[in-house]
Chain A
Amino acid sequence: MTHPKGTLTRNTTAARINHWITGGCFVLLVLSGLSMFHPMLFFLSELFGGGQWARAIHPWIGTVLLVSYAGLIVQFWRDNLWSRDDIAWMRAIHRVLVNEEEGVPEVPRFNAGQKFVFWSMALLVPVLFLTGLAIWEIYFFPYTSIETQRIAVLIHSLAAIAAIIVWIVHVYAALWVKGSIRAMTQGYVTPGWAWRHHRKWLRSLAASGSPGPRPRSGDNAAARSRKGR
């Protein structure tokens, strides 16, 4: 996709496709999973063609989710590594929450909140997958004891609830910080957006003359920055 002149690429096309496959799977998993979680939500199974279908399709969507999220981990793990600055940012969270980001420690590509969402899901998705396998009656029933399956289903529902809560935080943050959704649909942000929310990232792009999403590295970067932008 061509981006308007002067904007920065926040997410590559591959990353965006990967993200939305993940998001689509997650929504379908929440809907089909919750239908089995509580009697008052059983009606959700109708969205999948009835209880038998919801039960049957849920673990398959989960399998796609696992693969898809692995793709996101590969693409995003480096920018999500925890650093000391994240603690300073967390200390200033009360200012971030009231939209006063001036004076808050500058943020690289992702802030501590985004990293929290990323790593929570990096933990919860594999947990959901492994416990999901244990309770995948048709194929995997013989491989674990019934007692193990009781524990697995308890952990699966706990992890699902945790994931749903993390996901609500993630979605709300995207709605709250204007410009974020376009960063994941069309893939670009304005420089002002980067200045306001991810200034360290903006500086690293500017220094290396990169249009995003990652700074240029090595000789190439040095050459670009000498030329200026």
Chain B
Amino acid sequence: MADLQSQDYIRRSASTMTPPSIRNHEQEVAKLIDVSRCIGCKACQSACMEWNNLRPEIGHFEGSYDNPHDLDPSTWTLMRFTEWEDEEGNLEWLIRKDGCMHCEDPGCLKACPAPGAIVQYANGIVDFISENCIGCGYCVKGCPFNIPRINPVDHKSYKCTLCSDRVGVGLEPACVKACPTGAIMFGSKSDMTVWAGERIEELKSRGFSNAGLYDPPGVSGTHVMYVLHHADRPSIYAGLPDRPQISGFVGAWKGILKPVALAGIAFTAVAGFFHWVVAGPNEVQPEDEAEARHLLHKGDDAP
């Protein structure tokens, strides 16, 4: 894709300069996943494989409907199934479509050390530019949602692109197109938020008093949002983080540490240089040699 040049970056990994951004008059997009409408058919999972030409290796049955049992370099979206009992003992089958959340403040991009390996377009999509990826796995540490996976064969990191190639030419993501129940919607972020609001009202009227929108402020919102019937506890949906944010360790590592470290190194080097200028080299003097000779040959003078 590097030949189709992008001039609508709003963020670019490991870059100290403003990336090409002149064509940024774009609407922010969002994918809205209405968990309450999903029937777990995995049409989206198949559509993702088909559009992106991904074929994960056939795995093993792990005792649940999750198949494969985790995201991997060629599984960019995955239906996660949870059997959850509420306080009254009623069983609910929770199904969540897992994958990159396209964070407004992406931890993967913050952590990435390779210039331009992760970019964010003005429409909000976070994309991995594989030719720049060095395979270090820092994005895995940066991501609050445990999404990127490093392929051990080509040492590149992979995740959902939100079908940036389709969206770029005015199409909706493949998963959206495939969903038979309309559980996955795609459009401008503001439209999706309004739509979600209507749906949440409806769920509330049907007794899901805690229904709500998952658009976590800890990462400044996401471009993949969920309508949850139990928005008060996202973690019951196969571990969706309750309050996701970029880890403080990552923040310190990518933030304050850098200037302090470079200043420390520079200070030490400059201090050394000025010590040389002020005190100069410490050289052995002829007297030292004489004294040493005297010490070593004390025995020789003995009668």
List A residues 186-224 near B (Cβ within 8 Å): 190-197, 202-203, 206
When distances are taken between beta carbons in the complex, the residues of chain B under 8 Å from A227 are 299
A-side interface residues, number (CB < 8 Å): 57
B135, A157: Cβ atoms under 8 Å? no
Given A151-B249, A206-B295, is A137 in contact with B265 using a C-beta cutoff of 8 Å? no
- Size band of the B side of the interface? 35 or more
Interface string of A121-163 (1 = CB under 8 A from B): 0000000000000010110010000110111011001100100
Binds B, one of A11-19, A51-59, A64-72, A85-93: A51-59
Distance between A4 CB and nearest chain B CB, rounded to angstroms: 13
Q: How far is the CA of A62 from the CA of B22 in the complex (A)?
A: 43
When distances are taken between beta carbons in the complex, the residues of chain B under 8 Å from A203 are 295
The answer to whether the Cβ of B23 comes within 8 Å of any Cβ in the partner chain is: no
When distances are taken between beta carbons in the complex, the residues of chain A under 8 Å from B283 are 178
Given A37-B113, A169-B268, is A176 in contact with B275 using a C-beta cutoff of 8 Å? yes
The answer to whether the Cβ of B257 comes within 8 Å of any Cβ in the partner chain is: yes
A192, B288: Cβ atoms under 8 Å? yes
Given A149-B141, A161-B261, A228-B299, is A191 in contact with B292 using a C-beta cutoff of 8 Å? yes
The answer to whether the Cβ of A117 comes within 8 Å of any Cβ in the partner chain is: no
Distance between A44 CB and nearest chain B CB, rounded to angstroms: 11
Q: How far is the CA of A138 from the CA of B155 in the complex (A)?
A: 8
Q: How far is the CA of A203 from the CA of B294 in the complex (A)?
A: 11
B247, A192: Cβ atoms under 8 Å? no
A195, B250: Cβ atoms under 8 Å? no
Additional 20 contacts, C-beta under 8 A, given A165-B265, A176-B282: A37-B258, A37-B261, A39-B14, A52-B134, A52-B135, A54-B134, A97-B279, A98-B279, A99-B282, A147-B247, A150-B250, A151-B249, A153-B141, A153-B253, A154-B249, A168-B269, A176-B275, A192-B284, A206-B298, A229-B299
